[in-house]
Amino acid sequence: MVKNFVQRRLAAILAADVVGFSRLIGLDETGTLAALRQLRAELIDPRIGEHDGRLFKTMGDGLLVEFPSVVNAVACAVEIQRGMTAQNADLPSDRVIELRIGVNLGDVIIEGEDVLGDGVNVAARLEEIAPPGGVTVSSIVL
């Protein structure tokens, strides 16, 4: 009998999502998508790279990132949120783009380029309860 090998590892996962994405798209679909592309190119993706993160999934207005260190994941989250505050400073309040971010450290399963499992699920749940512009971390991260 041959057993299927499942690759597991401990990883820090950052989950981020745009607050009020549907409202922003409803106001200005083209402008919102262009602004998000610009934020990814100028702020989010560079911070991820600087902290040795690997973006493994995007979902419209959200993203999931794996880090080898929880310190790197939290530092990246804080820098992204600070950068978002600066980016939003001159925008009208109805055009402000805010993120919610959750960070968890947990066991994950690697399937090709994808990362799955409880470590990812908990990060996504933390992102859902994070305040707009904030970062929520699991107790293990503290």
How many angstroms separate the Cα of 67 from the Cα of each of 25, 54, 75, 129? Answer: 30, 6, 11, 21
Query: Per-residue confidence of the chain (142 residues) as pLDDT tens digits?
Result: 556 678 999 999 999 999 999 999 999 999 999 999 999 999 999 999 999 999 999 998 999 999 999 999 999 999 999 999 999 999 999 899 999 999 999 999 999 999 999 999 999 999 999 999 999 999 998 8
Cβ–Cβ < 8 Å for 14, 77: yes
Handedness of CA 16, 19, 20, 21 (dihedral sign): negative
pTM of the model: 0.94
Return d(Cα 110, Cα 106) in angstroms, integer. 13
